[in-house]
Copies of this chain bind each other. A is one copy, B any other.
Amino acid sequence: MEELHEECGIFGIKYTEEAARKTFFGLIALQHRGQESCGIAVNKNREITAYKNEGLVNDIFTESVLDSLQGDMAVGHVRYSTAGGGGVINAQPLTLNYIKGSLAMAHNGNLINYHELKKEYEKTGAIYQTSSDTEIIAYTIARERVNTPSIELAILQSMSRLKGAYSLIVMSPQKLIAARDPWGFRPLCVGRCADGAYVFASESCALDAVDAAFLRDVEPGEVIVADQAGLRSLRYGDKPPSSLCIFEYIYFARPDSYVDGQFVLEARMNAGRELARQSPAQADAVIGVPDSGTAAAQGYALESGIPYVDGFVKNRYVTRTFIRPSQSMRELAVKLKLNPIARHIAGKRVVLIDDSIVRGTTCRHIIGILRKAGAREIHVRASAPRFLHPCYFGIDIPTENELIANNHSIEETRQYLGADSLAYLSLENLLKIAPDAKTGFCRGCFTGEYPLEI
């Protein structure tokens, strides 16, 4: 029922006791980034063993599985995947042998020159056992490694070949290495535990999960090596404008994470404040679509002076495996997940904050539910601009045809949704929500202009 999905969350830790168990904690903190499959690879005396499966971290990694994963270095992965590319075979970390022994790799992102590289390597006899671009990254690094004195340099050199989004954690026999593409599409940060262990993670909330202090974000185009000598940094020469995916703030990241300097929860509240200034409404209450719309609704309420109220109770037991109901029960299923608190809504003019409107179907069901719960007027405010173009960098979105904004004017969309008014946060205002961010942003899904040529 969710409308947007990102591909993954990654986590790595080096030199610590119970490395697998701490990675397990880190992955649970990152579970919101991917619920389809998960995996942990550990390194004991330079030997890598891994366990991967489909399911949630807490279901897959039982006590006995964790006990079987001994080692003082580990890398983990949670994965969402699009239909067809799933299954255990594509679960990560990818583990492999190459010229220098074992490697484990966890990847978040999406290559755009996947097919080009695949074809190139095939011509020298390469074989592919997965359908993921992670395997292409692995090949690229392995090929560079043949004539490069270290794994970290091989990764750095691979950057000139890899086009697209990739936040990587690579575990070699002796090193744990984080790398982030030169555009910085996907987040990645580094921290340190009290026992001196270094930690890499997609979001800072995963550092919190193992009580690691946040050190800093991995910078776009940076490779950070953790080994016995401590941390070292290498930088890729070419410096394109940084292009963090702004949906990390709006939707993907956990509210208690810092991403590239910006506290996510505040970015969401800022989006609500901007919306209130830009598109005010005459209303009695502000409500948000849980979870990501809640903070924006609180921001809207604070800025507008209209009281914030809880509009829904979200049922946490409606998980991603919830059986797809027949058409006739679709609205009932949405209501099962988001039960309206009629007492807060009945007879009121409400502002409804949603993080984004993609297909529009779920939003339409929600509006129907609010009407039945007695809402007098419903003013929809989206905390992102109209979603018009595909994403090539790791967000799984419908085809352009299915994007409601592509075929409908705002007024048509309003009618389809059944709202009394509808407004989107403008791109200009969106760019104001993260004043602490040290990056620029990719805005391709709104404008069709991407940081790289597609």
Contact = CB atoms under 8 A, between A and B. Distances in A.
Contacts of A103: 127
Contacts of A266: 343
Contacts of A121: 125
A329 interface: yes
Nearest to A210: B332
A427 interface: no
A317 B125 contact: no
Interface residues of A, number: 72
Given A125-B146, A336-B209, A315 B98 contact: no
A211 B316 contact: no
A98 B124 contact: no
A336 B29 contact: yes
Contacts of A210: 332
A407 to B, nearest CB: 31
A263 B335 CA distance: 19
B142 A125 contact: yes
Nearest to A50: B89
A153 interface: no
Contacts of A56: 317
Contacts of A313: 205, 254-256
A208 B143 contact: no
Given A129-B94, A317-B58, A339 B205 contact: yes
A25 B322 CA distance: 10
Contacts of A31: 315, 317
A63 interface: yes
Contacts of A209: 332, 335-336, 339
Contacts of A58: 317-319, 321-323
Contacts of A94: 129
A128 B61 CA distance: 25
B265 A341 contact: yes
Contacts of A98: 122, 125-128
B126 A59 contact: no
Interface string A351-390: 0000000000000000000000000000000000000000
B336 A59 contact: no
A98 B209 CA distance: 42
A62 B129 contact: no
B28 A317 contact: yes
Contacts of A336: 25, 28-29, 209
Nearest to A144: B125
A341 to B, nearest CB: 5
A377 B56 CA distance: 37
A342 to B, nearest CB: 8
Contact of A97 (B57, B95, B128, B145): B128
A202 B124 CA distance: 32
A208 B339 contact: yes
Contact of A29 (B61, B122, B339, B341): B339
Contacts of A335: 208-209, 211
A266 B56 CA distance: 35
A251 interface: no
Nearest to A295: B310
Interface string A36-60: 0000000000000000000011110
Contacts of A414: none
B256 A339 contact: yes
Given A332-B25, A336-B209, A96 B62 contact: no
Contacts of A325: 21
* Interface-centre pick from A95, A99, A130, A138 (highest chain B CB count, 10 A): A99
Contacts of A99: 122-123, 125-126
Given A25-B333, A124-B146, A208-B339, 10 more contacts: A31-B317, A58-B323, A97-B127, A97-B128, A124-B125, A125-B145, A125-B146, A129-B129, A205-B313, A256-B313
Interface of A: 21, 25, 28-29, 31-32, 56-59, 61-63, 66, 88, 94-99, 103, 118, 121-131, 135, 138-139, 142-146, 205, 208-211, 254-256, 263, 265-266, 310, 313, 315-319, 321-323, 325, 329, 332-333, 335-336, 339, 341, 343
5 contacts: A56-B317, A58-B322, A97-B128, A127-B142, A256-B313
